[in-house]
A and B are shown apart, each in its own frame.
Chain A
Amino acid sequence: MSPEKEMEQLVNKKTGKEYGRGRSPAQDAFREFRRNKIAVAGVIFVTLVVLVAIFAPVFTPYSFAQQNRYSNRQKAFTGYDITTDFAEENCHWYNTPLEWGCTFYIAGSDPLGRDLWSRLIYGARVSLAVAFVASSVSLIIGMIYGTISGYAGGKVDMIMMRIVDFLYSVPLLPIIIMMTVYFKALARRGVTTGFMGTLIVLNRATGGLFFVFIAIGALNWLGMARQARGQVLSYKEKEFVEAARAIGAKDGHIMMKHLLPNVIGPLLIIESLQIPGYIFLEATLSFIGLGVDPPTPSWGAMINEGYGGIKSNPHLVLFPGIALALTTLAFNFMGDGLRDAFDARLRGRK
């Protein structure tokens, strides 16, 4: 980006006028993206969820871990037996214009008497953290690995790709489940020293999310590396790369300046289409009890807690389920829109 920035305010020596600016391929894509209404709706929804997740304390009357043992399994908009003492002591909205929200549960309460609404909002944090952190981790690892492999070519490429093939052939999910079970057992024993201890402390600090990141990163950088390598192979033979070599540019410069900017667009699009999958994977891991640690709320874990009583208390499954569905749908629309905007061949097709 820096050379473009540098040229931004160039002034013509002779006329003293500022130069006109060209439209980059990315700017063209952005214009195209804005015309896609569903994709824009997806972006707006994702932005809303991000804002709500960041400012979760403002949007929630209670803490996600606050129990009220007299008021468990309440239906939505009920819970009038919340005592004034309890509300005064625990409600974040007390003494604010929103004080009415302290006297009932917006989305009901779970079997432990925790406010489901508050847990839903805080659960968005987990899903979004997974969406952005895990996808960046797999994108960065995969992109660097694939770019080096594709650019180096020959034997290096062969060996690096066979490693990827080998990892692909290993069923990673069972291994991740075993690893997580092992880690959790260590954590229960209270190991806090050494390499494992560091990991466990990190994991505890992130409410159990750290292992989810590892799991998703380990599962998905392989595909990213293959995609990146394929892209690099197609660009490597282009004459502008030869031109850079004729100029005398070093390999690192060619990779950073000429290959990565061309490769990163398609990879970002592929990655954005994977995000719903990551959110689901986190929900899956949490559902089988290998995701976040209680009391950290995750939509998958909430569905797990509620599905036993789905007939008598459907709201316990329904609300996190709807939240999960809407968010993944929004990410899907956004990814589709990005793909259409960047892929000129798909433009104009409906």
Chain B
Amino acid sequence: MKADMKKLVEVRNLKKYFPGSESSFFHTGNDVKAVDDVSFDIYEQETLGLVGETGCGKTTVGRTMLHLYRPTAGSILFNGVDLITLGEKELRHQRRKMQMIFQDPYASLNPRMTVGSIIGSPLDVHTKQDRKTKQDRVQELLEMVGLNPDFVNRYPHEFSGGQRQRIGIARALALNPEFVVCDEPISSLDVSIQAQVVNLLEDLQKKLGLTYLFIAHDLSMVRHISDRIAVMYLGKVVELADRDEIFLNSLHPYTQALMSAVPVPDPDLADKKHRIILEGDIPNPADPPVGCNFNTRCPIAVDKCFKEEPVYRETADKHWIACHLVK
């Protein structure tokens, strides 16, 4: 990563709590802390990978950044503009520049709309183009994502998962966004299709100068596409660094355990590999442990970890971490 890159998105102390499930009229339950005090930056034209276990809050981070959920606290600066302070109209204007690619290509396309009207719908909302311009743009987008432009009048149910995901990508790109949140865009696809879609995303990034937040739990895929990687655990970012730094020189015990779980294609090497197996389950995010929230499963936890919450800080150059045991 080059030092002169401009920050596109700055997330500061972002919190998103959902009302607790046990809360009732008579009794307020604990809020589920899906995202609890998260800060990071995304630089222009880079890909930030966001990894973590199921339920650690990665999707919530992505959706809150696009204001699909209203944040509980914190700020999201996009090109220096704080999205949280914006009114509805200004927010709608900002939405042109940030889009999302969804996880499930079967649920993310309206079954009653044709492909042409799905891809054209952002144009309908934000522009007043005439039919001809709009239809040219839709054709251009279909070609851009590698689909036959003749498909405009087809319905989503006539396509395969990979094709549907391409339609979703075309819709996200319709308004020439700068920033795209990819919410596990490949996890519901076949392995062979996954590579195609990831390569398409990379090509589009080069061609259009896009910035990605790439949410995933497939570590090797994240390593392939990301410039930097953030690791989340129980609503917090525990480590953030350059891709190779995370994979080769991870400092946080959770990241180390995660990296040791990456499958190695060579059986001899795989036998020699030291695997760190974590005990126990992820704690309830409505009732996180006192101190470091990883202390229930951490193999190296000391007394301090059960009392004080570690500060999220920059240790080495551009290497952020939240752990007491790392100097």
Contacts and interface: CB of A to CB of B under 8 A. Distances in A.
Interface of B is mostly: helix
A10 B134 CA distance: 11
Nearest to A245: B68
A100 interface: no
B102 A19 contact: no
B65 to A, nearest CB: 11
B111 A262 contact: yes
B155 A25 contact: yes
Interface in B157-172: 157-158, 168, 171
B153 A10 contact: yes
B102 A243 contact: yes
B114 A242 contact: no
A318 interface: no
Interface string B92-108: 11011001101110011
B114 A3 contact: yes
A243 B100 contact: yes
Contact of B102 (A10, A242, A258, A262): A242
Interface residues of A, number: 33
Contacts of B122: 247-248
Contacts of B171: 243, 247
B117 A3 contact: yes
Contacts of B109: 240, 243
B148 to A, nearest CB: 9
A239 B103 CA distance: 9
Contacts of B93: 248
Contacts of A17: 150
B150 A243 contact: no
B92 A248 contact: yes
B273 interface: no
A20 B153 contact: yes
Interface in A19-33: 19-25
The interface size bin for chain B is 35 or more
B102 A7 contact: no
A44 B126 CA distance: 46
Contacts of B158: 22-23
Interface string A1-41: 00110111010110001011111110000000000000000
Max chain A Cβ within 10 angstroms of own Cβ: one of B91, B93, B112, B150? B112
Nearest to A1: B112
Given A12-B150, A20-B153, A248-B95, A7 B117 contact: yes
A261 B111 CA distance: 9
Nearest to A14: B149
A319 B151 CA distance: 55
B136 interface: yes
Contacts of B168: 243
Contacts of A347: none
A21 B153 contact: yes
B107 A239 contact: yes
Contacts of B153: 4, 7-8, 10, 19-22
Contacts of A6: 117, 131
Contacts of B121: 244, 247, 249, 257
Given A22-B155, A262-B111, 13 more contacts: A4-B114, A4-B117, A4-B153, A7-B114, A8-B153, A10-B135, A13-B136, A19-B149, A19-B150, A25-B155, A246-B68, A248-B92, A261-B112
